[in-house]
A and B are shown apart, each in its own frame.
Chain A
């Protein structure tokens, strides 16, 4: 076991010397299972992928492909039954502030804390910053998401989009190795969602963070992502890894954008046709 890990590190060191950058996050043959009251569900089956620094890596797939479960695995809320998840060469074993997560739900903010206190909270509890430094950094990131005027408001006074901005500021203020986003814009209305996508890309231009982003929207995946991992459902398996770094909002109508959209659509839709045929065949 120890020698295997040692060999892995040597291999990585070798590739680094060859000029290629080292992967920040390595997911190798990961199978994740969870128990419901009656069933043991295999959410993902032997999934591999690598995320490099400053990647906007998107996990895309239909509901039931285990993309959220995969994100929870990377966050450390779940342990893989098979395979390894490594961040900076260290195996992920528990949740921690080096992988800050942004959830889909609006109730992820602590309702008993103001916007400023919410952003400061992980800095002082998990980041070990002194109170004054934490406050300063929190203010800087609240400013980045354009909520300076709402720093002293409580979450229940904010709109859905503003709550998600606070959550993003809270996660980014930790300056984590990797930012995990679980469909953060899925519960927003279409206009707000589009604005938030633009803002996220703008933030990335600004800070160049690494983000692992889960979505079920093909369009969102192409706009947000620099690289897209397409997963098949029941259980989630890797179907393709595609480049999308050239596309942003400005490219939405372009032929290349539509071609990529069609290609992914085909991959996801093919399953449904096969399923349908299988059902028909049984009938």
Chain B
């Protein structure tokens, strides 16, 4: 510091002049540990499924400990009691059938909603009026809870699948359309020009450029739609359980609560959670891995 200021006093600071040199890179064998295999612990903890199963096991353990400590099966049955009720219902109580009834109604509503969303968003990207229509409709109906429409749906479509499918479509259509549309809007100008440069127009342009380019958003919309549909369906069955004829999962939970079989109520809730986990981690995860992750659009 002191030296620098002394130099600066009589002349401007100059870097020192050093010797030049050239070097040959060392041979590969001398460098040593360029690449080494990971340890078994690192390998195992790199598997997402292992980490997630560990979390699930930890939650089950905490649940069991708290349930045993509380020892009030009417208010909070333990994990073991719930598991027992779950397997009993699965083997003797027709839980699988009830779950299937729910899932089947759900799939019908979901598929219809995806179809309608495809038509609406295609209209929205091809015409200005379609764009205004979609924007207005989504801002009107997206905040409206699907379950609030159920009383009217019951009047219009009667007790049965019709009314449930109607509210399911409402639950899925708006968030899915919103996501898909914003996905289409964010496709870069360059990709659009590439598509038109290759001579694509109309439907071929939408299916070959816009849909794959917007696929991350579309997939996010499908996931949100799935979750909304699941929630709406269980709530609808809980409130108006009998409307779906033979009764689904929501009805199973409602019935057991009336009878105070609380461990069976928990088993029903656990089934809802299990199906949710399965769809998220198996179905959507597989689609993601085969598409957006492979394409490097999502890490």
Task: Identify the A interface with B (CB < 8 A).
Answer: 75, 77, 95-97, 99-101, 103, 105, 107-108, 110-112, 121-122, 125-126, 154-157
- What does the 1/0 interface line of B225-255 toward A look like (CB < 8 Å)? 0000000000000000000000000000000
Task: Identify the B interface with A (CB < 8 A).
Answer: 188, 190-191, 193-194, 196-200, 204, 208-209, 212-213, 215, 291, 294-297
Q: Are A96 and B194 in contact (CB under 8 A)?
A: no
Query: What is the minimal beta-carbon distance from A57 to any residue of chain B, in angstroms?
Result: 19
Known A97-B199, A112-B295: A125·B191 in contact at CB below 8 Å: no
Write 27 A-B pairs (CB below 8 A) sorted by A numbering. A75-B193, A95-B197, A95-B199, A96-B199, A97-B198, A97-B199, A99-B197, A101-B193, A103-B194, A105-B188, A105-B190, A110-B191, A110-B209, A110-B212, A110-B213, A111-B213, A111-B296, A111-B297, A112-B295, A121-B198, A122-B199, A125-B198, A125-B204, A125-B208, A126-B199, A154-B294, A156-B295
The list of the 9 closest CB pairs from A to B, nearest first, reads A156-B296, A126-B199, A122-B198, A112-B212, A95-B196, A126-B198, A105-B190, A111-B295, A112-B295
Q: Which of B197, B291, B294, B296 is A97 in contact with, Cβ under 8 Å?
A: B197
Give the chain B neighbours of A125 by CB distance below 8 A.
198-200, 204, 208
Q: Are A107 and B296 in contact (CB under 8 A)?
A: no
- Distance of A155 Cα from B194 Cα, bound (Å): 15
* Number of A-B residue pairs with CB-CB distance less than 8 Å in the complex they form: 64
Q: Are A157 and B199 in contact (CB under 8 A)?
A: no
Query: What is the minimal beta-carbon distance from A152 to any residue of chain B, in angstroms?
Result: 12
Give the chain A neighbours of B191 by CB distance below 8 A.
107-108, 110
Of all chain B residues, which has the CB nearest A106? B190
Give the chain A neighbours of B190 by CB distance below 8 A.
103, 105, 107-108
Query: What is the minimal beta-carbon distance from A111 to any residue of chain B, in angstroms?
Result: 5
Q: Are A108 and B194 in contact (CB under 8 A)?
A: yes
Give the chain A neighbours of B291 by CB distance below 8 A.
112
Interface centre among B193, B208, B213, B297 (most CB of A within 10 A): B193
Give the chain A neighbours of B213 by CB distance below 8 A.
110-112
Query: What is the minimal beta-carbon distance from A164 to any residue of chain B, in angstroms?
Result: 13
